[in-house]
């Protein structure tokens, strides 16, 4: 029976400790929720009363507003409302300034009453030199009573659980020795079948405990040896995969270097000839425009080759402030012939006001081009690809709970969408679902890297109505 008493005492102490800790956290959580609900109720009621007071003041004057507040006080038992007129000398300047800026100020103060009170001031939107506000006052007696009832209920529950646990522990302890022997026999059979993850809990300080510890140690040594073998095998496979990946990167680097060398001279010749045409006298406006386009696109091709060469090494983008609408329009205009050839219409949705961000126009143009080409290729038969630019508010990953203004570019198509099994991998280098010769698997990974360098995010998902949707979020510097 000594083992039964020890088990009962330890179980009771542990149960009480857990229940006490849980009680403390529960009370703190309930208090926080109660305070939050109370402040939110004040904000809602204060805002509604302030709006009504503003309309009443404008229509019939200050006396009608006071009558309105009296009616509210008649209906509300635990809360008192009051009309407060303030100027810059009525209270400290910090309070008046906060009320003017935020429109609402909340404080919890202790007075002569038994319980602290929550005070809320809501500014009345009106013209005039004197600042008018609705003051709401409510004591925290309800919070105190709620906490007291929670403590009483929790203590009663904890006591009942503790007594029940004590009785169960005493009853179970009667057969503790027999059960320990059965556990050791079962444990030995598990090890014999190869299950080295099993363990027997050691209890007390006797021969059975020493035997249990020895058998547990044997099982731990077997488990360590097994895990060591598994880690060695996994490390070998990982090293082989890394070597293969490095070899692929090296091959791509050599190919890219050869392409840059072979295409560099022809591109320079094309650009130079186009510039000569521009400088020639007597050429038509159409020919000049065509020559200008050749110069721009040959320079862009050279820049794309440089970006491919710099894919695996760090570099800084040449950023400057610019209107993102122009970049979106240029990308759509450039790919319009390709879309028309596949009977696909590019539908633009741009805001009327400029969307100013800090960007490398060439790199962002490349991101949009990659997304549009993928959407056009994914479209089957006649259809449309939508490109929409909006303002939005998005969370910042590195700072939980914070948000920022973003320019949101959404590219969506009406194709078959992306299989859910491969959706998490589409931004990996060299991963592609296209056929041989149709894609290298670098487009989306390069786009992901460019967006990250611009401090933004890129996401992909399948639309409910069919097709894929890519979203690019870039932080906005300013709004015009």
In a domain, 336, yes or no: yes
Sequence-distant (≥ 6) Cβ neighbours of residue 474 within 8 angstroms: 324, 357, 359, 364, 406, 407, 409, 451, 454, 455, 456
Mean pLDDT (the chain, rounded): 79
Q: How far is CA 321 from the centre of its chain?
A: 26
In a domain, 258, yes or no: yes
Q: How confident is the model at residue 387 (pLDDT cuts 50, 70, 90)?
A: very high
Model confidence pLDDT, tens digit, residues 97-145: 888 888 888 888 886 667 788 889 898 887 766 788 888 888 877 777 8
Model confidence pLDDT, tens digit, residues 216-264: 787 777 778 778 888 888 777 776 766 665 566 566 666 766 676 677 7
Torsion over CA: 386, 389, 392, 396 (sign): positive
Residue 396 shares a structural domain with residue 306: no
Give the phi and the psi of residue 353 in degrees, each rounded to 5: -95, 155
User: Distance between CA atoms of 292 and 282, rounded to whole angstroms?
Assistant: 15
- Output the domain CATH number for residue 407: 3.30.565.10
Residue 436 has pLDDT above 50, yes or no: no
Residue 336 shares a structural domain with residue 471: yes
Residue 287 shares a structural domain with residue 254: yes
- Output the domain CATH number for residue 222: 1.10.287
Farthest CA pair distance, the chain: 113
Range ranked top by mean pLDDT from 81-95, 267-281, 323-337, 439-453: 323-337
Residue 305 shares a structural domain with residue 369: no
Model confidence pLDDT, tens digit, residues 341-371: 888 999 999 999 999 999 888 889 889 998 9
User: Distance between CA atoms of 363 and 307, rounded to whole angstroms?
Assistant: 9
pLDDT (0 to 100) of residue 464: 86
Query: Domain span at residue 77?
Result: 2-146
Arithmetic mean of pLDDT, 179-188: 71
Residue 262 shares a structural domain with residue 400: no
pLDDT (0 to 100) of residue 314: 42
Residue 293 shares a structural domain with residue 330: no
Q: Which residue has the higher pLDDT, 96 or 2?
A: 96
Q: Which of 473, 448, 422, 474 is nearest to 311 (CA)?
A: 448
Arithmetic mean of pLDDT, 394-412: 79
Q: Which residue has the higher pLDDT, 413 or 129?
A: 413
Exposed/middle/buried for 419, CB within 10 Å: 0-12, 13-18, 19+? Answer: exposed
User: Distance between CA atoms of 279 and 66, rounded to whole angstroms?
Assistant: 80
In a domain, 160, yes or no: no
Torsion over CA: 404, 409, 415, 421 (sign): negative
In DSSP terms, 106 is beta-bridged to 120
Residue 346 shares a structural domain with residue 297: no
User: Distance between CA atoms of 226 and 220, rounded to whole angstroms?
Assistant: 10
Sequence-distant (≥ 6) Cβ neighbours of residue 409 within 8 angstroms: 324, 328, 368, 387, 388, 389, 471, 472, 473, 474
Residue 255 shares a structural domain with residue 339: no
Q: In Å, how far are 102, 127, 478 from 98, measured between CA atoms? A: 6, 18, 25
pLDDT (0 to 100) of residue 409: 95
In a domain, 379, yes or no: yes
Q: In Å, how far are 56, 133, 421 from 376, measured between CA atoms? A: 59, 58, 22
In a domain, 50, yes or no: yes
Q: Which of 146, 164, 186 is the last residue of a domain?
A: 146
Within 10 Å of residue 457's Cβ, how many Cβ atoms?
A: 18
Residue 309 shares a structural domain with residue 395: no
Inter-residue contact 450 to 364 (CB < 8 Å): yes
Residue 212 shares a structural domain with residue 236: yes
In a domain, 267, yes or no: yes
Inter-residue contact 7 to 87 (CB < 8 Å): no
End-to-end, the C-alpha distance of the chain in Å comes to 82
Residue 395 shares a structural domain with residue 450: yes
In a domain, 151, yes or no: no
pLDDT (0 to 100) of residue 313: 46
- Output the domain CATH number for residue 118: 3.30.450.20
User: Distance between CA atoms of 290 and 221, rounded to whole angstroms?
Assistant: 77
Q: In Å, how far are 2, 46, 107, 113, 277 from 43, measured between CA atoms? A: 61, 5, 12, 23, 69
In a domain, 165, yes or no: no
Task: Kindly report the three-state secondary structure assignment for every residue of the chain.
Answer: CHHHHHHHHHHHHHHHHHHHHHHHHHHHHHHHHHHHHHHHHHHHHHHHHHHHHHHHHHHHCHHHHHHHHHHHHHHCCCEEEEEEEECCCCCCHHHHHHHHHHCEEEEEECCCCCCCEEEEEEECCCCCCCEEEEEEEEECHHHHHHHHHHHHHHHHHHHHHHHHHHHHHHHHHCCHHHHHHHHHHHHHHHHHCCCCCCCCCCCCCCHHHHHHHHHHHHHHHHHHHHHHHHHHHHHHHHHHHHHHHHHHHHHHHHHHHHHHHHHHHHHHHHHHHHHHHHHCCCCCHHHHHHHHHHHHHHHHHHHHHHHHHCCCCCCCCCCEEEEHHHHHHHHHHHHHHHHHHCCEEEEEECCCCCEEEEECHHHHHHHHHHHHHHHHHHCCCCEEEEEEEEEEEEECCCCCCCEEEEEEEEEECCCCCCCCCCHHHCCCCCCCCCCCCCCCCCHHHHHHHHHHHCCCEEEEEECCCCCEEEEEEEEEEEEC
Residue 417 has pLDDT above 60, yes or no: yes
Residue 333 shares a structural domain with residue 373: yes
Inter-residue contact 257 to 309 (CB < 8 Å): yes
pLDDT (0 to 100) of residue 471: 94
């Amino acid at each position: 029976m000594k083992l039964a008493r020890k088990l009962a005492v330890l179980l009771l102490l542990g149960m009480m400790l857990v229940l006490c800790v849980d009680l403390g956290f529960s009370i703190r959580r309930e208090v926080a929720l109660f305070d939050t609900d109370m402040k939110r109720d004040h904000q809602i009621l204060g805002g509604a009363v302030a709006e009504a007071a503003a309309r009443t003041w404008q229509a019939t004057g200050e006396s009608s507003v006071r009558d309105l507040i009296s009616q509210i006080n008649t209906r509300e038992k635990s809360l008192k409302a009051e009309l407060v007129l303030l100027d810059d000398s009525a209270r400290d300047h910090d309070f008046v300034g906060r009320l003017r800026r935020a429109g609402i100020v909340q404080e919890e103060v202790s007075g002569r009453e038994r319980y602290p009170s929550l005070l809320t001031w809501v500014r009345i939107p009106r013209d005039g030199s004197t600042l008018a506000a609705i003051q709401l006052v409510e004591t925290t007696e309800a919070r105190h009573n709620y906490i007291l009832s929670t403590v009483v209920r929790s203590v009663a529950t904890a006591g009942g659980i503790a007594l029940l646990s004590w009785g169960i522990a005493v009853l179970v302890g009667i057969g503790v020795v027999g059960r320990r022997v059965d556990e050791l026999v079962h444990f030995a059979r598990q090890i014999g079948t190869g299950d080295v993850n099993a363990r027997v809990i050691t209890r007390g300080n006797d021969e059975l405990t020493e035997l249990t510890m020895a058998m547990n140690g044997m099982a731990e040594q077997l488990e360590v040896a097994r895990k060591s073998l598994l880690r060695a095998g996994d490390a070998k496979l990982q090293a082989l995969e890394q070597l293969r990946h490095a070899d692929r990167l090296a091959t791509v680097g050599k190919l890219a270097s050869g392409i840059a060398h072979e295409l560099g001279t022809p591109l320079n010749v094309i650009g130079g000839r186009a510039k000569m045409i521009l400088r020639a006298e007597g050429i038509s406006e159409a020919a000049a425009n065509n020559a200008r386009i050749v110069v721009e696109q040959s320079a862009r091709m050279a820049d794309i080759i440089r970006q491919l060469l710099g894919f695996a090494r760090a570099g800084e983008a040449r950023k400057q402030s610019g209107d993102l609408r122009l970049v979106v329009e240029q990308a759509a205009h450039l790919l319009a012939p390709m879309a028309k050839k596949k009977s696909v219409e590019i539908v633009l949705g741009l805001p009327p006001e400029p969307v100013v961000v800090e960007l490398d126009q060439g790199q962002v143009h490349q991101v949009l081009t990659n997304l549009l080409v993928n959407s056009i290729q994914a479209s089957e038969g006649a259809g449309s690809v939508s490109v929409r630019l909006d303002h939005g508010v998005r969370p910042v990953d590195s700072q939980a709970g914070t948000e920022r203004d973003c320019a949101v570019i959404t590219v969506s198509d009406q194709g078959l969408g992306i299989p859910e099994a491969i959706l998490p991998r589409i931004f990996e280098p060299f991963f592609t679902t296209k056929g041989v010769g149709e894609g290298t698997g670098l487009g989306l990974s390069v786009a992901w890297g460019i967006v990250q360098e611009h401090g933004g995010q890129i996401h992909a998902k399948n639309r409910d109505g069919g097709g894929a949707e890519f979203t690019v979020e870039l932080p906005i510097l300013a709004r015009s």
